């Protein structure tokens, strides 16, 4: 069956703190190939995104992924996490950072 998502979580401590929510993840017993698919184009992520869409811990997954990927260049961001492709995650974070910068400018925290 290959490597399962839970195998990676158990092997990589950064992804297991806290681990309790991961027990409820829809991906827990699925092969990693679902979330790291071969091929090109956005459609290659559809199966993983459909699984994530019904996951009860999607927000926890998004928060963990944002912490784990913080500071990585776009070329190191891979796979589907919290229902988002790598490009979708990078875009969301850029939009958030731009909004935060505007807010900080408005309250005179940054020039």
Give the tens place of pLDDT for each residue, 12-69.
555 545 468 888 999 999 999 999 988 777 788 999 999 999 999 999 999 989 888 8
Give the tens place of pLDDT for each residue, 82-110.
999 988 998 998 898 889 888 888 887 76
Strand partners, 62: none
This prediction's pTM = 0.71
pLDDT higher than threshold 70 for residue 10: no
Decide which of 53 and 76 is more confident.
53
**The predicted structure's pLDDT at residue 71:** 74
Phi-psi region of 85 (alpha: psi -120 to 50; beta: other; left: phi over 0): beta
**The predicted structure's pLDDT at residue 9:** 54
CA-to-CA distance for 18 and 64, rounded, in angstroms?
Answer: 9
CA-to-CA distance for 109 and 102, rounded, in angstroms?
Answer: 10
CA-to-CA distance for 74 and 53, rounded, in angstroms?
Answer: 23
């Amino acid at each position: 069956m290959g490597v399962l998502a839970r195998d990676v979580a158990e092997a990589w401590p950064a992804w297991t703190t806290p681990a309790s929510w991961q027990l409820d993840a829809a991906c827990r017993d699925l092969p990693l190939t679902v979330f790291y698919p071969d091929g090109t184009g956005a459609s290659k992520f559809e199966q993983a995104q459909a699984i994530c869409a019904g996951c009860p811990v999607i927000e926890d997954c998004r928060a963990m992924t944002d912490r784990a990927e913080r500071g990585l260049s776009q070329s190191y961001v891979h796979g589907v996490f919290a229902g988002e492709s790598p490009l979708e995650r990078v875009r969301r974070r850029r939009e958030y950072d731009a909004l935060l910068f505007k807010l900080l400018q408005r309250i005179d925290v940054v020039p």
